Amino acid sequence: MTDATLKTAVRPLSAKVSVIEIEGSVTRSGEAALMDAYRQASGDETRGIILDFTKLDYMNSSGIGLLVTLLVRANRQRQQLYACGLTEHYRDIFAVTRLNEAIHIYPDEAAAVAAAGQC
């Protein structure tokens, strides 16, 4: 079984858009790492945050709960969340939970960036 930790890397693309690269597992134990990454990604002028799930290994319902927490914070800061790099299975899960209505899914970072540029 692979390591159950979450690793993140934050890349600000501009004053308004940042990317959080997610690697590993998004579960309850990743809360601190994820919230930390959000803090780093969230500048005064940030309007869009892209969650890059390309290196996601595993996510369970606790992980979905974390994304909802992220959503709550992003909403407060009037930021829009985007997601890219999800496998079909996790796109399914986003759809089943209707998370995709709040976190817009794009096939790759470029598409997400283009969409984020519009806001």
Partner 1 sequence: MIVAELERAVRAIGQPRFAQIWADATIAAAWSSGSSLPPFDPRDPVVAYAVRKSGPWRLADVTLDSPALEACRALGADTVAPLVSLGEFVGLVALGSPTLGQGLARSELVMLEEVAAQAAATLRVARLTQQHEAAERRWQSNAEELRIAQQIQRSLLPESLPELAGWQVDAHYRPARVVGGDLYDFIPLPGDLFCLVIGDASDKSVPAALVMATTRSLLRSAALRVVLPGHVLARANDDLCAQIPPGMFVTCFIAILDTASGRLRYANAGHCPPYLSTSEGATELRASGWPLGIMPGASYDEGEITLAPGSALVLFSDGLTETHRSDGEMFGTARIADVVAPNGKSAGALELILAAHERFAGPGWEPEDDLTIVTLARLGEDATDDGGGAERELVLAEFAMPSVADSERALAERVLDAVADQPLTSRQRDRLRTAVGETAMNAAEHGNHYRPDLSIGVQVARRGVELLVRISDSGLGGSIPEPAAPNLEAKVAGLQSPRGWGLFLVEKMVDRLQVHETPPGHTVELMVRLDGLKGAES
Which residues bind to partner 1, rule: CB under 8 A? 1, 4, 27-29, 58, 60-62, 64-66, 68-69, 71-72, 75, 88-89, 92-93, 95-99, 101-102
When the beta carbons of 37 and 113 are compared against partner 1, the nearer one is 37
Least Å distance between CB 25 and partner 1? Answer: 8
When the beta carbons of 95 and 119 are compared against partner 1, the nearer one is 95
DSSP H or E run through 24 = strand 17-26
Closest residue by Cα to residue 8 from 69, 32, 45: 32
When the beta carbons of 105 and 113 are compared against partner 1, the nearer one is 105
Closest residue by Cα to residue 82 from 45, 38, 112: 112
**Backbone φ and ψ of 5, nearest 5°:** -105, 160
Least Å distance between CB 27 and partner 1? Answer: 7
C-alpha–C-alpha distance, residues 83 and 61, integer Å: 17
